[in-house]
Structure 1
Amino acid sequence: MDILSNLDFSTAFKYLVPSLTDGLWIVIQSTVLGFLLAIVIGLFIAIGRISKIKVLKGFLLVFLEFIRGTPLLVQLVYMYYVVPLLVSIVIQIWNPGYQFKISSLVAGTIGLGINYGCYISEVIRSSILSIDGGQTEAALALGLTNKQALFRITIPQALRSVIPVFGNYLVMMLKDTSLLAYVSVSELLLRTQSYASQSFLTIESYTILAGFYLILSLPLSQLVKLVEKKMIKFN
């Protein structure tokens, strides 16, 4: 009861919220750029998985299993701490002494993009395979190449049908940006941890942080549901 009576939300709100507001841009930046990267990676993997190139299909399958079989946090740490070392080792073969560096935000954004891209790829691949093959045959009969039929006929329809699923992944990525704190990105969680350790207002700080994420994610979730309803009516 002593703890509850000593709660000071007004002080925590006064000093923590401005810091969280400053960190909001980092969250938006990493979410938007990471999600765009995820779509590009997902589309590339999906096309590679349905191609007839066995070596490419085998490589992508192994890559998918590696990404889906390891935690996102481990992947972010690996991207920030290990990948620069591996790149430096390779480049030093031709340029001794070279040290490759990558910012924590860039590493975190790339890590999010790769992780979500692998999951999105399966959604895109399934959607492409669900498109009636007769449309491709009709396109070929009209003189289009396989590549033109894929990119002009099949993929546009496939992407349109998975927009609601993309929205759900976007909301998930927004919340997963909190993991970027573990690779030193000054986003919301890291700012909250720093303030809580200095002020000892632990309950207040993390409660405000949870509320901040709710304010961000709930409207976005409602927007996704609205888009999903519109897509259902459109189809």
Structure 2
Amino acid sequence: MNILNNLDFGTAIHQLTPQLLQGLVIALEATIFGFLLALVLGVLIAVGRLSGRKFLNGVLVVFLEMIRGTPLLVQLVYMFYVVPLLISLVFQFFIPDYQFRMNPLLSGVLGLGINYGCYMSEVVRSSIVTIHKGQTEAALALGYTHRQTMWSIIIPQATRNSIPVFGNYLIMMIKDTSLLAFITVNELLLRTQAYASQTFLTIESYTLLAVAYLILSLPLSQVVRLLEKRLRKHA
């Protein structure tokens, strides 16, 4: 009962909300740029795997298994702490004492983009495979090259068919931006942790954090459902 009596949501809302809004901007930046990177990588990996080149397909399969076989948090930490050291090591052969530094937010965007891009590539690849081969044959008969057919006819359709799944990945990515706190990105979770440790308003702080993520994800979930229904009607 003492805990309930000491709850002070009014103070937490007044003091923490401005910080959460600032963290929200950073989380949205990481989500938008990370998702765009994931979309580009997803399409490129899917096209590469369907190109018919065995060596390229083998390299991409190994890369996919490495990414899908390790946790996103480990990949983010590796991108922020290890990759700059590896880059510095390479450049030190040419420039002594060279030290490469990577911005935490950039590390987060790269980590999210690469991780989600690998998963989204399978969605794009599956969508490409399901498109009737007659469209490719018709395009070739009209004088299109294989590359023009893929990028002008097949890829747009595959991307359109994947929109509902991409929407779900976008929602997941928004929530996964909380992992960026572990690489010192000053987003929602890190700001909440700092505030809770200073004020000891633990219940209030993390409750507000949960509400903030709900406010982000629930409306977006509804938008994804509406898009899915519209696409089904026009299918």
Paired with 2:138 and 2:233, the residues of 1 have a C-alpha distance of 27
Paired with 1:149 and 1:19, the residues of 2 have a C-alpha distance of 49
Match of 1:202 in 2: 202
Deviation at 1:143, TM superposition (A): 1.1
1:206 corresponds to which letter in structure 2? Y
String of CA shifts for 1:90-137, please: whole Å, max 9, x gaps.
111222221111100000011000000000000000000111111111
The normalised TM-score by structure 2 is 0.98
Paired with 2:41 and 2:189, the residues of 1 have a C-alpha distance of 27
Match of 1:221 in 2: 221
Match of 2:16 in 1: 16
Deviation at 1:2, TM superposition (A): 1.1
Paired with 2:150 and 2:21, the residues of 1 have a C-alpha distance of 43
State the Cα RMSD in Å.
0.7
5 Å-filtered alignment, 1:60-99, equals 60-99=60-99
Poorly superposed stretches of 4+, deviation over 3 Å: none
Q: Which runs of 5 or more structure 1 residues have no equivalent in the other structure?
A: none
Deviation at 1:76, TM superposition (A): 0.3
Match of 1:41 in 2: 41
Deviation at 1:51, TM superposition (A): 1.1
Match of 2:182 in 1: 182
Match of 1:102 in 2: 102
Paired with 2:149 and 2:221, the residues of 1 have a C-alpha distance of 34
Q: Secondary structure at the match of 2:98?
A: coil
1:158 corresponds to which letter in structure 2? A
2:204 corresponds to which letter in structure 1? E
Paired with 1:6 and 1:203, the residues of 2 have a C-alpha distance of 10
Q: Secondary structure at the match of 1:118?
A: helix
Paired with 1:218 and 1:192, the residues of 2 have a C-alpha distance of 21
Q: Secondary structure at the match of 2:101?
A: coil
The normalised TM-score by structure 1 is 0.98
Deviation at 1:194, TM superposition (A): 0.0
